[in-house]
Structure 1
Amino acid sequence: MDFQKLSPRLDNIGITASTLCAIHCAVVPLLFTSLPLVGLGFLANAWVEWGMIIFALVIGVYSIGLSYRRTHRRSVPLFMLVSGFVIIMGGHAFTTTGKYEAMIVPVGGLLIAAAHYINYRYTGACNHDHKTYKLEKVE
């Protein structure tokens, strides 16, 4: 499997998953009581939330970890990924009210999405040739 082609796809999936996780964590506490009325009560289930977190973690570790090892060797996306998950876990573990959790946890999700974006940029997702043209002096 060609990692150069797989890495941008994984980063796109990671950006989408992390952004959806951040939106989920921000919106569900606000709409908690009305979700069952529109048939979306399952979104308030803790299993859905932990499933999203674990999915984002697996995609992030695989994509950013392999990109770090195989292509760019820059630690910024890796640091942002770890920081994002620390913020998410801290938001779940140390906040007692949903109001603070709804403000802290989405920041972690957006930080993870930003880590995927930076990783995407570092891996050189564009495959076309960047030619440098020099202007010649005309006399």
Structure 2
Amino acid sequence: MNIPKNASRLDHIGITASTLCAIHCAIVPVLFTSLPLLGLGFLANVWIEWGMILLALTIGTYSIGLSYLRIHKRLLPLCLLIAGFAIILLGHVFVHGWPEVIIVPTGGLLITAAHFINYKYTGTCKYLIK
């Protein structure tokens, strides 16, 4: 079985992107009023937030989906990915105020965990060709 060489790289990118997304979602509401003073007002833009969510969704779906279909066939990373995005969407669409600062980063950390577990499953798969 030929394993795409970029599978583990995508998990590294996914871990980084989803961790940065979680940090962004936790910090931006707290620093909302000071962002323009620091020249970082663009981080509070709704298009930046949805762009980060779509980037994480694209990387996660491709990386974890490819690994699931071709390598390890384990559902845990896929379930964590879906749960993470569900929590992020719920937090952005239905929850506002201080609970959003807790809910949305939790979803980002679940996505980070999904990539990390996927990376571990891919690395321990007996069919993995390096």
Q: TM-score scaled to structure 2, two decimals?
A: 0.92
Q: Is the 8 A contact 1:68 1:74 kept in 2?
A: yes
> For residues 79 and 18 of structure 2, what CA distance do their matches in structure 1 show?
16
Q: Is the 8 A contact 2:3 2:71 kept in 1?
A: no
In structure 2, runs of 5+ residues without a counterpart are none
Shift of 1:4: 3.8
Residues 73-92 of structure 1: pairs in structure 2 closer than 5 A:
73-92=73-92
Identity %: 65
- Match in the other structure for 2:67: 67
SS at match of 1:85: helix
- Match in the other structure for 2:108: 109
Q: 1:128 to 1:78 in 2, by over 3 A?
A: closer
> For residues 55 and 124 of structure 2, what CA distance do their matches in structure 1 show?
23
- Work out which of the two has the higher radius of gyration on C-alpha atoms and give 1 or 2: 1
Q: 1:114 to 1:93 in 2, by over 3 A?
A: same
Q: Is the 8 A contact 2:3 2:129 kept in 1?
A: no
Residues 1-139 of structure 1: pairs in structure 2 closer than 5 A:
3-97=3-97, 99-124=98-123
Paired amino acid for 1:94: F
Shift of 1:95: 0.8
Shift of 1:96: 2.7
Paired amino acid for 2:83: S
> For residues 49 and 101 of structure 2, what CA distance do their matches in structure 1 show?
13
* Cα shift readout 1:51-96 (whole Å, capped 9, x = no counterpart): 0000000000000000000000000000000000000001112213
Q: 1:128 to 1:74 in 2, by over 3 A?
A: closer
CA RMSD of aligned residues (A): 1.9
SS at match of 2:32: coil
> For residues 3 and 48 of structure 2, what CA distance do their matches in structure 1 show?
30
Q: Is the 8 A contact 1:8 1:125 kept in 2?
A: no
> For residues 32 and 105 of structure 2, what CA distance do their matches in structure 1 show?
16
- Match in the other structure for 1:135: none
Segments of 4+ moved more than 3 angstroms: 125-129
